[in-house]
């Protein structure tokens, strides 16, 4: 009976050792799992803090909508001779007005007289522009925010009230261009004098309009197909509300 008793004791000892080892492994696995969970939570909290800090420092708070009016004229003499200064209206949304960098989305409409240099025809040059860009606030003063800006967009010109033909007037009746506006501006926040939300904005810009084929440089030589530059410069005043 002793051999059987010794064998049983050995099996029992081996089983108890295996159970203890399995429990130790399980405890260690549980500890590793808890550590991994804590690390994941800390990593998530750190990533959230970095994201909040980044978005606050770059785009921050300060979403605003603005609208206003202004004037613009062509830079080139050939275009200015045909269509002088005109009026414009502007609608704009800005994200990040209180931060160093802000993003803008804008719509601009314009209207100016346009006259043929070869006959008595005249009409109205209607402009439609959609653009997106960024502005960098040079000084982050609570009330006054001077800034520089640049954008890219699409501009369409249509002639209303006349039927121009290039061969007889030196003008086309429609044109589509790539527009690259750049300039400087100033935003004032009335919150500093007790009127929260109200803002005013003024800017001057040079608008590089590329790919124009609306106005011939020399209407007496239509076969040359040399068109005037369509770049413009202008001033705009706006008022709006900051949320």
Domain range annotation of the chain: 1-58, 60-242
**CATH of span 60-242:** 2.40.160.20
Which residues in the chain come in under a pLDDT of 70? 1-33, 35-37, 44, 46-60, 166-168, 219-220, 222-224
Q: How far is CA 139 from CA 131, 147, 232, 239, in A?
A: 25, 8, 27, 20
Q: Radius of gyration over alpha carbons of the chain, in Å?
A: 34
Quote the mean pLDDT of the chain: 83
pTM of structure:
0.71
């Amino acid at each position: 009976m002793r051999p059987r008793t010794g064998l049983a004791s050995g099996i029992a000892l081996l089983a108890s050792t295996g159970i203890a080892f399995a429990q130790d492994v399980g405890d260690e696995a549980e500890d590793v799992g808890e550590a991994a969970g804590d690390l994941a939570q800390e990593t998530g909290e750190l990533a959230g803090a970095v994201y909040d800090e980044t978005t606050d420092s770059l785009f921050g708070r300060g979403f605003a909508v603005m609208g206003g009016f202004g004037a613009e004229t062509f830079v080139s003499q050939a275009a200015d001779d045909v269509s002088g200064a005109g009026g414009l209206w502007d609608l704009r949304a800005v994200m990040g007005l209180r931060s160093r960098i802000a993003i803008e989305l804008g719509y601009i409409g314009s209207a100016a007289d346009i006259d043929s240099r070869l006959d008595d025809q005249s009409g109205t040059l209607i402009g439609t522009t959609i653009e997106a860009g960024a502005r960098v606030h040079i000084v982050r003063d609570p009330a006054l925010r001077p800034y520089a800006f640049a954008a890219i967009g699409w501009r369409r010109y249509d002639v209303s009230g006349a039927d121009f033909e290039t061969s007889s007037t030196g003008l086309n009746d429609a044109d589509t261009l790539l527009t690259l506006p750049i300039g400087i501006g100033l935003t004032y926040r009335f919150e500093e004098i007790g009127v929260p939300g109200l803002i005013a904005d003024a800017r001057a810009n040079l608008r590089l309009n590329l790919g124009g084929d609306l106005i011939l440089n020399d209407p007496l030589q239509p076969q040359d197909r040399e068109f005037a530059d369509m770049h413009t410069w202008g001033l705009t005043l706006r008022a709006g509300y900051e949320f």
